[in-house]
Amino acid sequence: MTALKGKHIVLGITGGIAAYKSAILARLFVKAGAEVQVVMTPAAREFITPVTMSALTDKPVITEFFTANTGEWHSHVDIGLWADAMVIAPATASTIAKMAHGVADNMLVTTYLSAKAPVFIAPAMDLDMFAHPSTTANLKTLAGYGNHIIEPAAGELASHLIGKGRMEEPEVIFSVIERFFGDTAELAGKHVLITAGPTYEKIDPVRFIGNYSTGKMGIALADAAAARGADVTVVAGPVDVKPTHPRVKVVKVESARQMLEKCEDLFDETSIAIFAAAVADYAPAEYADTKIKREHTQVPTLRLIKNPDIAKTLSSKKHPGQLTIGFALETDNEKVNAAEKLASKNLDLIVLNSLRDAGAGFGTDTNKVTILSPAGIIADTPLKSKREVAADIINAILKYDPFTH
Ligand code: C5P
């Protein structure tokens, strides 16, 4: 049984090369048990035929307000109300502009304006069109109305130019919608704070001390917590990965001190804090305002000072009901070291990654973890994707009741 079984999805298709991918998306929805009603703009028919789409969805495709030969009226209001979700993929710059400004000159935009259901928009266009301030402003307007924007990916475009504007792959769009319906509410109303990624400690305007953390684990945890109903804020160092869940907010910082400051601002209203960042242990004692030159008479010495321990600082201020969870990346005597860290940082749980396990740790897409409470091991995962491990960690947190341990 999938989260999409029996759901009514209006799939809006507009006139872009990526329209051929809508066939795959429709197929994924149908295979997951959803009913799909395709609404195409007139321009979309130049890119993919209504015959293909109606064969895949078992429903006539709607483009016009009337069927020409019978005079049958297609009610955009009825379709809008029938929908459990409306997905516009691909969404061209023109349709995005019309949606943002209520220019209801076709069936797709009128249906959008009548829809009560959540709306997902997957833009697809050339990089310059996507980067144009009018597109940016229109997407911001649409996001402000509560629509979910599925950001395009960067890659080769139909124009053969390389850049951002390529419609996200059908599988990704599908999983965003599937997850939306698969959400549960165990953490509804709760704020979850997550630190993620590396920190950069500035040496001079062009150099820093950093590490190879990518932030994948922290972002996966953020999506997993949001899927359980939480409102999540990720305080992230310099990372490229982005969350896909609309309830996740990312606050970008650079140094450990900035990370601590942001976390301190948010900690009071936080129910669960997960410290997944690879915080640099040391920062340069002095920052050189200008680039340190090579033509020094002596090789410069970098004097370091200790960074604040964010997990420890915040966990020492914990009030009853707040849970803090840390990570331990160990190479030897793993469980003993992790248990010591749990106690010394006043954490409720600690997630142990062993660097001895191939496929676990920095930069990989997979992980394998052991979760410890003060009473000992409470969960162990085999090697799996960071997304699956994230869901397991959130499950373990949900099951953990500190008063019974
Ligand atoms: O002491 P160690 O760096 O191994 O501890 C790892 C845990 O502590 C992780 O949860 C990490 O995010 C957190 N940490 C922190 N601030 C630091 C160092 C580590 O929050 N300065």
pLDDT digits (tens, 9 = 90+) for 330-352: 989 999 999 999 999 999 999 99
CA–centroid distance, residue 243 to ligand 1 (Å)? 22
- In short, whether 277's Cβ falls inside 6 Å of ligand 1 is yes
pLDDT band with cut points at 50, 70 and 90 for residue 404: very low
CB atoms within 10 A of CB 365: 12
Q: Give 71's contacts (C-beta < 8 A, 6+ positions apart).
A: none
Give the H/E segment covering residue 274.
strand 272-275
Atom of ligand 1 nearest to the CA of 330: 4
Question: What pLDDT sits at residue 38?
Answer: 97
Residues 106 and 99 sit within 8 Å (Cβ to Cβ): no
Burial 122-158 (b: 16+ CB within 10 A, else e): bbbbbbebbeeeebeebbeebeeeebbbbebeeeebe
The percentage of residues in the chain with a pLDDT greater than 70, rounded to a whole number, is 97
CA distance 322 to 271: 5
Atom of ligand 1 nearest to the CA of 195: 12
Question: What pLDDT sits at residue 228?
Answer: 92
Question: What pLDDT sits at residue 402?
Answer: 60
Active-site annotation holds for 346:
no
Q: Which of 193, 199, 274, 279 to mutate to test the pocket of ligand 1 (most atoms within 8 A of CB)?
A: 279
- In short, whether 157's Cβ falls inside 6 Å of ligand 1 is no
Q: Reply yes or no on whether the pLDDT at 71 is more than 80.
A: no
pLDDT digits (tens, 9 = 90+) for 181-210: 888 889 999 999 999 999 999 999 999 999
- In short, whether 195's Cβ falls inside 6 Å of ligand 1 is yes
CA–centroid distance, residue 137 to ligand 1 (Å)? 39
Question: What pLDDT sits at residue 113?
Answer: 95
- In short, whether 310's Cβ falls inside 6 Å of ligand 1 is yes
Give the pLDDT mean for 13-42: 97
Q: Reply yes or no on whether the pLDDT at 405 is more than 70.
A: no
- In short, whether 327's Cβ falls inside 6 Å of ligand 1 is yes
- In short, whether 274's Cβ falls inside 6 Å of ligand 1 is no
Nearest CA to ligand 1 atom 9: 327
Question: What pLDDT sits at residue 280?
Answer: 97
Q: Using alpha carbons, select from 337, 322, 288 the residue that is nearest to residue 402.
A: 322
CA–centroid distance, residue 316 to ligand 1 (Å)? 14
Atom of ligand 1 nearest to the CA of 307: 21
Question: What pLDDT sits at residue 154?
Answer: 87
Average pLDDT, the chain: 92
Nearest CA to ligand 1 atom 13: 311
Question: What pLDDT sits at residue 80?
Answer: 87
CA–centroid distance, residue 249 to ligand 1 (Å)? 22
Q: How many Å separate Cα 208 from the centre of its chain?
A: 27
Q: Give 215's contacts (C-beta < 8 A, 6+ positions apart).
A: 196, 197, 198, 236, 237, 239, 240, 241, 277
Give the pLDDT mean for 206-232: 95
0.75 cut: is pTM over it? no
Give the pLDDT mean for 260-285: 98
CA–centroid distance, residue 310 to ligand 1 (Å)? 7
More confident: 252 or 68: 252
Give the pLDDT mean for 24-28: 97
- In short, whether 135's Cβ falls inside 6 Å of ligand 1 is no
pLDDT digits (tens, 9 = 90+) for 81-99: 999 999 999 999 999 999 9
Q: Which of 200, 253, 345 to mutate to test the pocket of ligand 1 (most atoms within 8 A of CB)?
A: 345
Atom of ligand 1 nearest to the CA of 347: 10
- In short, whether 311's Cβ falls inside 6 Å of ligand 1 is yes
Question: What residue ranges in 317-383 does DSSP mark as E strands?
Answer: 323-330, 349-354, 366-367, 369-373, 376-380
* Catalytic annotation, pick one of 69, 106, 138, 211: 211
- In short, whether 221's Cβ falls inside 6 Å of ligand 1 is no
- In short, whether 150's Cβ falls inside 6 Å of ligand 1 is no
CA–centroid distance, residue 403 to ligand 1 (Å)? 25
pLDDT digits (tens, 9 = 90+) for 118-171: 999 999 999 999 999 999 999 999 999 989 999 998 888 888 888 899 999 999
